């Protein structure tokens, strides 16, 4: 009976440090937040970018099969990175200048 209670004590002591200590951290972001000059909408085979610069508004449709494209008014580029072979899951990366 004593060995059984000793095992219980060992189990309690094993889990005690994880309960007693909390892990904290800090993430620091630097830079500026800007409103995106372009809005986008995604369909099954294309991305439509609507970009505004001052009073000028331009719309451009980019095919997802090409993968890469330029945003209207030279505001940046877009790139599609496919995650799977079927090209049904991907990441649209937009880089503004």
Does residue 55 lie in a domain region? yes
Residue of 35 and 54 predicted with greater confidence = 54
Task: Supply 68's token pair.
Answer: 């890469």
Containing structural domain, residue 54: 38-96
Q: Which pLDDT band holds residue 64 (cuts at 50, 70, 90)? A: confident
Does residue 21 lie in a domain region? no
All residues at 6 or more sequence positions from 62 whose CB lies less than 8 Å from its CB, including other chains: 46, 47, 48, 49, 69, 78
Does residue 47 lie in a domain region? yes
List, in sequence order, every residue forming a beta bridge with 60; answer none if it has no partner.
49
Q: Would the pLDDT of 13 be above 70?
A: no
The DSSP output letter for 76 is: E
Q: Which residue has the tokens 């439509």?
A: 48
Question: Cα 32 to chain center, whole Å?
Answer: 18
Does residue 8 lie in a domain region? no
Number of domains observed in the structure of the chain: 1
Predicted TM-score (pTM) above 0.85: no
Does residue 91 lie in a domain region? yes
Does residue 14 lie in a domain region? no
Does residue 18 lie in a domain region? no
Q: Would the pLDDT of 39 be above 80?
A: yes
Per-residue pLDDT, 3:
46
| Average pLDDT of the residues in 10-34 | 61
Q: Would the pLDDT of 8 be above 70?
A: no
Sign of CA dihedral 79, 84, 86, 91: negative
Does residue 29 lie in a domain region? no
């Amino acid at each position: 009976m004593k060995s059984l209670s000793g095992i219980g004590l060992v189990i309690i002591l094993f889990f005690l440090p994880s309960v007693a200590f909390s892990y904290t951290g800090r993430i620091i972001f630097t830079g500026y937040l800007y409103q995106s000059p372009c809005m986008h909408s995604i369909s099954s085979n294309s991305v439509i970018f609507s970009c505004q610069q001052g009073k000028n508004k331009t719309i451009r449709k980019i095919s997802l099969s090409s993968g890469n494209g330029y945003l209207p008014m030279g505001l940046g580029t877009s790139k599609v990175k496919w995650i799977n072979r079927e090209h049904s899951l991907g990441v649209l990366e937009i880089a503004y200048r």
